[in-house]
């Protein structure tokens, strides 16, 4: 199953690969070179397909849990000043997504969407400490019945050049449901109240819509 945001790129890539495979057979007389080009083209198609994969996941909707908004590795857990919305200290949990991870963004919790804002910006590497403030990003705040307001942020990386965000102010976010997509490498930050108990640790691998970040 593939994400709808990848349909256009997948179609273009597929047609290009078919053209390359046919052309290599017809115009390159050296067998090893022809087959080598065809293999490279097919590997490229496979990489594009795996990047836009969208595995079906059934999240257990819960008012007492926050789940991972994306697949990847926990690279930051620390108390920081959140200057955009809260303007006070929050517990930041950051998930780095490599190009090999599923890049679907999923709602970490159920609740009313209070803020959904896009920020143009730079394309620093996603693990850079300042990427959360300087890179192209979106900021989404959900009003949660147990945790209060929680904020998650989609952040573009050095390769990513497009963030897709489906969250709209006033809509209801449903935990685990599709909230958007970030193309080709990125990061997702969660900002939770200070003192929030965590179920994950630094360097843990998480799955969006499945892994529990916090349970109260």
Per-residue pLDDT tens over the stretch 171-181: 999 999 999 98
For 91-149, the DSSP string reads EEEEEEE-TTS--EEE-SS-EEEEEEEEE--B---TTSTTHHHHBSEEEEEEEETTTEE
Question: Which is nearest to 187 in space by CA: 65, 106, 103, 85?
Answer: 103
Q: How far apart are CA 93 and CA 72, in angstroms?
A: 12
Q: What is the mean pLDDT of residues 160-188?
A: 86
The residue that leads in pLDDT, 78 or 22, is 78
Does residue 213 register a pLDDT over 90?
A: yes
Lowest mean pLDDT among 27-31, 43-47, 148-152: 27-31
SS3 45: helix
Burial (0-12, 13-18, 19+ Cβ within 10 Å), 203: exposed
Q: What is the mean pLDDT of residues 49-56?
A: 80
Q: How far apart are CA 154 and CA 143, in angstroms?
A: 18
Does residue 129 register a pLDDT over 90?
A: no
The residue that leads in pLDDT, 180 or 53, is 180
| pLDDT of the residue at 55 | 82
Could you tell me which residues come within 8 angstroms of residue 8 by beta carbon, excluding any fewer than 6 positions away? Answer: none
| pLDDT of the residue at 134 | 65
Q: How far apart are CA 44 and CA 94, in angstroms?
A: 29
Half-sphere exposure of 48 (CA within 13 A, CB side): 19
Does residue 131 register a pLDDT over 60?
A: no
Are the beta carbons of 200 and 206 closer than 8 angstroms?
yes
Q: What is the mean pLDDT of residues 151-175?
A: 86
| pLDDT of the residue at 80 | 94
| pLDDT of the residue at 169 | 97
| pLDDT of the residue at 47 | 82
Q: What is the mean pLDDT of the chain?
A: 87
118, β-bridge pairs: 138
| pLDDT of the residue at 186 | 81
Number of separate helices (H) and strands (E) present in the chain: 3, 13
Catalytic residue among 186, 199, 214, 216: 186
Active-site residue, 186 included:
yes
Are the beta carbons of 189 and 129 closer than 8 angstroms?
no
Does residue 66 register a pLDDT over 60?
A: yes
**The token pair that represents 52 in the structure block:** 């836009």
**The token pair that represents 57 in the structure block:** 């996941």
Does residue 3 register a pLDDT over 80?
A: no
């Amino acid at each position: 199953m593939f994400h709808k945001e990848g349909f256009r790129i997948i179609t273009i890539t597929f047609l290009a690969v078919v053209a390359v495979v046919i052309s290599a057979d017809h115009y390159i007389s050296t067998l090893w070179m022809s087959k080598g080009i065809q293999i490279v083209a097919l590997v490229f198609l496979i990489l594009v397909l795996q990047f836009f994969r969208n595995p079906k996941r059934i999240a257990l909707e819960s008012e007492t849990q926050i789940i991972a908004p994306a697949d990847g590795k926990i690279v930051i857990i620390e108390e920081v000043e959140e200057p955009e919305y809260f303007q006070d200290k929050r517990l930041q949990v950051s998930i780095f997504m490599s190009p090999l991870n599923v890049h679907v963004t999923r709602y970490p919790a159920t609740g009313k969407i209070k803020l959904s804002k896009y920020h143009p910006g730079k394309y620093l590497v996603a693990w850079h400490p300042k990427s959360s403030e300087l890179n192209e990003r979106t900021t989404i705040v959900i009003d949660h019945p147990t945790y209060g307001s929680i904020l998650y942020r989609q952040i573009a990386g050095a390769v990513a050049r497009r963030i897709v965000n489906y969250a709209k102010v006033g809509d209801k976010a449903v935990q685990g449901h599709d909230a958007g997509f970030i193309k080709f490498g990125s990061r997702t930050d969660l900002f939770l109240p200070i003192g929030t108990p965590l179920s994950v640790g630094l360097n843990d691998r998480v799955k969006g819509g499945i892994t529990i970040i916090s349970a109260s």
